[in-house]
């Protein structure tokens, strides 16, 4: 099997576990770290998930707090999306993107939809690969894909900014409570 065929096979076959395939037992952080390595595409050269990263995701609000020190399916589903999205978005942008998803309150529904979109993206990428008999210009194809990734990232960030502005404009502005005028300090001192 050629390298191109192997890449095409990975794009066609590899998928993160579906929601029902995620462990149905509570995991501790070290177990989560080991499990998440299997949720990433083989050969992916991304930064490996660490305990400190998980803590930062929790602090930033992009990942829910664990039950005690145990992580459950919703945490694993969210971490799968976070680990993949962080390759192209900042943690802040990832958080804003996830907050805007209409089904984010139903982790299983969101994750199922997320995996369907990931499947479509992987299939589209596989279609761009040349057939085995062709003598492709790999450098040109890599440049085209990198540029498309760059443009897609720019557009995604702009859309997130638009969503943030729209959300801010839709928030009702509450009138500020009127403050009682403060008495001058001298007057208070004279009364005491």
pLDDT tens for the chain, 192 residues long, are 688 888 888 899 999 999 999 999 999 999 999 999 888 887 665 568 899 999 999 998 889 999 899 999 999 999 999 999 988 898 888 988 888 888 878 999 999 999 999 999 999 999 888 876 666 688 888 899 999 999 999 999 999 999 888 888 887 766 665 555 555 555 555 555
For residue 66, give the nearest of 94, 32, 22, 99 by alpha carbon. 32
Residues 86 and 164 in one domain: no
Together in a domain, 84 and 115: yes
Does residue 165 sit in the same domain as residue 146? yes
Do 83 and 154 fall into the same domain? no
pTM exceeds 0.85: no
CA–CA dist 57, 52 (Å, integer): 9
Query: Contact at 8 Å (CB) between 32 and 75?
Result: yes
């Amino acid at each position: 099997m050629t390298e191109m065929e192997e890449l095409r096979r990975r794009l066609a076959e590899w998928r993160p576990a579906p929601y029902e395939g995620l462990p149905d037992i509570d995991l501790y952080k070290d177990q989560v770290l080991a499990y998440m390595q299997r949720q990433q595409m083989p050969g992916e050269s991304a930064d490996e998930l660490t305990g400190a990263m998980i803590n930062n995701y929790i602090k930033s609000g992009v990942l829910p707090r664990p039950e005690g020190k145990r992580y459950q399916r919703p945490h694993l589903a969210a971490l799968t999306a976070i680990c993949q999205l962080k390759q192209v978005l900042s943690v802040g942008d990832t958080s804003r993107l996830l907050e805007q998803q209409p089904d984010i309150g139903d982790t299983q529904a969101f994750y199922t939809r997320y995996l369907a979109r990931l499947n479509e993206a992987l299939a589209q990428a596989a279609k761009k690969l040349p057939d085995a008999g062709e003598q492709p210009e790999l450098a040109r194809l890599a440049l085209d894909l990198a540029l498309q990734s760059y443009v897609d990232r720019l557009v995604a960030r702009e859309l997130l900014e638009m969503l943030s502005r729209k959300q801010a404009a839709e928030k009702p502005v509450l009138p500020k409570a009127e403050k009682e005028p403060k008495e001058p300090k001298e007057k208070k001192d004279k009364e005491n």
